[in-house]
Amino acid sequence: GAGVSQSPRYKVTKRGQDVALRCDPISGHVSLYWYRQALGQGPEFLTYFNYEAQQDKSGLPNDRFSAERPEGSISTLTIQRTEQRDSAMYRCASSSGQQETQYFGPGTRLLVL
Amino acid sequence: QKEVEQDPGPLSVPEGAIVSLNCTYSNSAFQYFMWYRQYSRKGPELLMYTYSSGNKEDGRFTAQVDKSSKYISLFIRDSQPSDSATYLCAMSGTFSGGYNKLIFGAGTRLAVHP
């Protein structure tokens, strides 16, 4: 079946612009995670949704970052007023339950010029 | 100091060698230990999952957890060129509220040459 999909795969933007990154989880998966992965590093937790509820946003770096999952399926990670330090790979993962295996998407590579 | 430490490598071995990959951690509350494999330009995929201490074997792969030393290992026997990838250790615990808030190591790049 289809895995986790993310769009766009690549995003180049200018400093100060807002960007929206989309995650489409595996059908039926109730748990959704966002991670950020810098080059040569492991993924770093950003936020977690259980259905539509954002249960943990402790990893979001600052208030320019926000995420939503209004219908408990597709999720959007929004970065406002982007800065060069926001450049990274943003990965989404979903799982069938809170303690179940996380399946990662291919990621969105964000480059802020 | 990071919660999870992992030697980034790279590690280069000949085909057929036994590979040992390791991570150390500082948070004694970690209970779930995972190894993910990440091929170039792909997302991480779960390879091994272990709860608490002990060993787990799956084909050519063996995962070991030593909670007393806060040390986990992944062994790959009879390594193949197709095993060439980055291996990430990841951990979580019930302290995170019942869900798997994974804490990853930096990943070790492995190259198996024919």
| pLDDT confidence tier of residue B98, bands split at 50, 70 and 90 | low
Tell me whether residue A69 is exposed, middle or buried, using C-beta atoms within 10 angstroms of its C-beta: 0 to 12, 13 to 18, 19 or more: buried
A42 with B97: Cβ contact below 8 A: no
Asked if residue A20 has pLDDT above 90, the reply is: yes
Asked if residue A1 has pLDDT above 70, the reply is: no
When scoring B23, B101, B103, B109 by the number of chain A Cβ atoms within 10 A, the one with the most, hence best to mutate, is B101
| pLDDT confidence tier of residue B1, bands split at 50, 70 and 90 | confident
Q: What is the DSSP letter of A99?
A: T
Q: What is the pLDDT of residues A47-85, one digit of tens each?
A: 999 999 999 999 999 999 999 999 999 999 999 999 999
Nearest-neighbour CA in chain B from A42: distance (Å): 4
The token pair that represents B95 in the structure block: 């302290």
Asked if residue B51 has pLDDT above 90, the reply is: no
> Where does residue B9 fall: left (phi above 0), alpha (psi -120 to 50 degrees), or beta otherwise?
left
Query: What average pLDDT does the segment A36-40 reach?
Result: 92
A102 with B102: Cβ contact below 8 A: yes
| pLDDT confidence tier of residue B93, bands split at 50, 70 and 90 | confident
Nearest-neighbour CA in chain A from B88: distance (Å): 7
Residue keyed to tokens 């030697």: B7
Q: What is the pLDDT of residue B22?
A: 96
Q: What is the pLDDT of residue B97?
A: 65
Find the CB nearest B101 among A42, A48, A100.
A48
Asked if residue B46 has pLDDT above 80, the reply is: yes
**Rounded Cα gap, residues B70 and B89, in angstroms:** 13
Q: Decide if B43 touches A, using CB distance below 8 A.
A: yes
Q: Are A6 and A75 in contact (CB under 8 A)?
A: no
